[in-house]
A and B are shown apart, each in its own frame.
Chain A
Amino acid sequence: DAKTTQPPSMDCAEGRAANLPCNHSTISGNEYVYWYRQIHSQGPQYIIHGLKNNETNEMASLIITEDRKSSTLILPHATLRDTAVYYCIVRVDNNAGNMLTFGGGTRLMVKP
């Protein structure tokens, strides 16, 4: 699986958009970009995923660059409850276990 690079920490003001970058320059053509987050000591939570098109759901938007070497997770109106560690994970979708490899992540602090 492709390696990802994320900033270790970011701050965001409550109510503002949080833009979390992820670099995955070695991504392969059949690898998806997944985002999960973990609020303190809770189980990780799926946010969104995409292959090459931008994606949006009720939680966030995912913007993937045309060359697919980087992406940005956007939380449009961050709240205090969005304070968490955000993990960008690149994976091939197949039926062989599909384990997630968590590494690094960005600790987002939403401040009032």
Chain B
Amino acid sequence: AAGVIQSPRHLIKEKRETATLKCYPIPRHDTVYWYQQGPGQDPQFLISFYEKMQSDKGSIPDRFSAQQFSDYHSELNMSSLELGDSALYFCASSSQTSGSNKQYFGPGTRLTVT
């Protein structure tokens, strides 16, 4: 079965640079979520989109923005990168019509800021 695809899998950037992470949800899933997991920490919710509209917002810095496109893929844009942004970034998708909160996670993008 198709899973959530994230690209790139690894990314190295320098401080003050920008980065764009991409997420391709499971086909027919209408909701996308972004989570950030710092070293030794639990995943923290950043933002979610349902049918291309922002549906919930967590602890996402103002330097970050995200959107969901007409094909339901999503991109997380990160500007003015800081060393503390080094983390694993997970995307998850779900189907609201399924009636449950079952989220399917991608393999993550490991971002290293030097």
A residues sitting closer than 8 Å to B (CB atoms) are 32, 34, 38, 41-46, 49, 87, 91, 93, 95-105
Q: Is B74 an interface residue (CB 8 A)?
A: no
Q: Do A46 and B103 have beta carbons less than 8 Å apart?
A: yes
Complex interface bits, B43-60 against A, C-beta within 8 A gives 1, otherwise 0: 111001010000110100
Q: Do B107 and A42 have beta carbons less than 8 Å apart?
A: yes
Complex interface bits, B73-109 against A, C-beta within 8 A gives 1, otherwise 0: 0000000000000001010101010011111111110
> With A43-B90, A43-B107, A95-B96 in contact, is A101–B45 under 8 Å at CB?
yes
Interface size class of chain B, counting residues whose CB lies under 8 Å from the partner chain: 20 to 34
> What residue in chain A is nearest B41 (Cβ atoms)?
A102
Q: Do A44 and B90 have beta carbons less than 8 Å apart?
A: yes
Task: List the 8 shortest-distance A-B pairs measured between CB atoms, nearest first.
Answer: A97-B56, A43-B105, A102-B42, A97-B55, A99-B45, A98-B101, A97-B48, A102-B43
Q: Do A32 and B101 have beta carbons less than 8 Å apart?
A: yes
Q: Do A93 and B42 have beta carbons less than 8 Å apart?
A: no
B residues sitting closer than 8 Å to A (CB atoms) are 4, 31, 33, 35, 42-45, 48, 50, 55-56, 58, 88, 90, 92, 94, 96, 99-108
From B31, B42, B106, name the one whose CB has the most chain A CB atoms within 10 angstroms.
B42
